[in-house]
Amino acid sequence: MSHQQGDEVSLNVVRGVLGNLVEWYDWFVYASFSIYFAASFFPAGNLTAQLLSTAVVFAVGFLMRPLGGWLLGRYADRFGRRSALTLSVTLMSVGSLAIAVTPGYQTIGVLAPIILVLARLTQGLSVGGEFGSSAAYLSEIAPAGRRGFYSSFQYVSITLGQLAALFVMIIMQAWLTEQQMSDWGWRVPFAIGAIGGLIVMYLRRTMTESRYFEEETASRSTDRGRGGLSTLLTGYWRRLIAVFGLAIGGTVAFYTFTTYLQKYMVNTAGIAKSTVSVIGFAALFLFMLMQPVVGALSDRWGRKPIMLGFSISGMVLTVPIMTILGTTRNPWIAFLLMTTGLTFLTGYTALAAIIKAEMFPTSVRALGVGLPHALVAATFGGMAEPIALALKQIGHESLFFWWVTGCIALTFIAAVVVSEPSRNSALDTHPSFSDSPVGLTPEKHGKPQR
């Protein structure tokens, strides 16, 4: 790859990352600021009950993710990765704007939570389509031998979105009182997200389209039957099962050690909100820096060994980390525990895009990655926080730790069974494959594809 080509790839990665950043900033602003706006959208009650209500709405947003994974994934495979990514960030910004301007429960009554739910449904549709389209785009623009490295920037951008949300929270906590944050301050970050989305709409429209998609489009005149949900279900169903298995543990662990852990430190450990924000920011910053390092290692060692490392570490360490964290008020210990959890989680997140994208041909790549990931996110990831809070309500919070461990065990099984995706990658071969058991074996008559 020439220096000029390398610069072009890097520029497109930056454009994609900035768009992903704003979209996931909007998504995580809800989770980060729910401790302040819970009382605005729901009737008066204790903190856990109000947090549970906002967590349920957070989970409701996940219900739209499979629909988004299907609709926007199919859209990306039919009309281009760039167009799908532009549409997804637009939907996310619309949802943020709605939340920013909606009056509270005391003003408009039940309409407040209704509007909140509708906004989260729109954002869920957006995020559901974002993952598959982004994974397909990053994997397709990356040069062979560095796909793990470039694709790892998907979770760099997701983490940057979280960091941006936390940074805004830390600044606002320093400038505003607790009462001001609860009264109106929480609206500011949603407004920032809506404005940022307008900027990203332009940036994503200037991205270079994937050559894989352009070649696929050029070939459709001779093969109009490829692509779509029916093709995915009939031709690649074993690979869909593999993606389900690989995604379950990583998705649950991701939402546990990022989104929920900060509420856990406040609501269970009793650490101050402002301190938790700083802990979360520092741990997530290190987590972000780990992504390209582990992605590059997967280019050298393969995807499977690193995914096994994640699942084994997760099964061993999740219960001890959560148990100790729930009993300490020492911010340094809390930081070390959160960082430990995020370190083994990197074994999944750095590979989450590429290990799945390598399993599908161009005609169904965005759909094949996005739909099963969205289904797992809706059924497992979105329910992580409500399950944790509900178990806390009935006095059995520790059962949640074992539930997370069990989900990671499913990913361990999938990682053991699946063939090494980087060998016979669909990104190196013609889109026509025989559906061998979990592995990827090109058909003898397939011709090479760039």
24-33, 178-187, 298-307: range with lowest mean pLDDT:
24-33
* Burial tier of 445 (Cβ tally within 10 Å: 0-12, 13-18, 19+): exposed
- At how many degrees (to 10) do helices 273-301 and 153-175 cross? 170
The model's pLDDT over 355-369, given as tens digits with 9 standing for 90+, comes to: 988 888 888 898 998
The model's pLDDT over 372-391, given as tens digits with 9 standing for 90+, comes to: 988 998 888 878 888 888 89
Does the CA dihedral 359-361-363-365 come out positive or negative? positive
CATH fold for the domain made of 9-209+227-442:
Growth Hormone; Chain: A; (1.20.1250)
Residue 23 has pLDDT above 90, yes or no: no
**Interior/surface letters 288-300, b for 16+ CB within 10 angstroms, e for the rest:** bebbbebbbbbbe
Confidence of residue 303 (pLDDT cuts 50, 70, 90): very high
Q: How far apart are CA 427 and CA 144, in angstroms?
A: 8
Residue 189 has pLDDT above 60, yes or no: yes
Q: How far apart are CA 139 and CA 418, in angstroms?
A: 19
Mean pLDDT confidence for 208-235: 73
The model's pLDDT over 411-450, given as tens digits with 9 standing for 90+, comes to: 999 999 888 877 767 777 644 333 433 333 333 333 333 3
Residue 105 has pLDDT above 90, yes or no: no
The model's pLDDT over 25-59, given as tens digits with 9 standing for 90+, comes to: 887 788 778 778 877 777 666 566 666 777 777 77
Number of continuous H segments (helices) and E segments (strands) in the chain: 21, 2
Q: How far apart are CA 389 and CA 400, in angstroms?
A: 9
* Burial tier of 75 (Cβ tally within 10 Å: 0-12, 13-18, 19+): buried
Mean pLDDT confidence for 192-203: 86
Confidence of residue 292 (pLDDT cuts 50, 70, 90): very high
Residue 372, CA distances (Å) to 53, 246, 268, 322 in order: 27, 10, 33, 28
Higher pLDDT, 217 or 2: 217
Higher pLDDT, 102 or 205: 102
Range among 16-20, 160-164, 257-261, 410-414 rated most confident: 410-414
Residue 17, CA distances (Å) to 59, 132, 337 in order: 25, 14, 28
Instruction: Write down the pLDDT at residue 437.
Output: 34
Q: How far apart are CA 283 and CA 191, in angstroms?
A: 26
Instruction: Write down the pLDDT at residue 4.
Output: 54
Q: How far apart are CA 140 and CA 56, in angstroms?
A: 36
Residue 330 has pLDDT above 50, yes or no: yes
Confidence of residue 315 (pLDDT cuts 50, 70, 90): very high
- Taking all residues of the chain, what is their mean pLDDT, rounded to a whole number? 83
Distance of CA 324 to the CA centre of its chain: 27
Instruction: Write down the pLDDT at residue 120.
Output: 87
Instruction: Write down the pLDDT at residue 439.
Output: 38
Instruction: Write down the pLDDT at residue 47.
Output: 61
CB within 8 A of 417, min separation 6: which ones? Answer: 242, 245, 438
Residue 445, CA distances (Å) to 160, 209, 222, 418, 440 in order: 44, 28, 17, 24, 15
Q: How far apart are CA 394 and CA 446, in angstroms?
A: 57
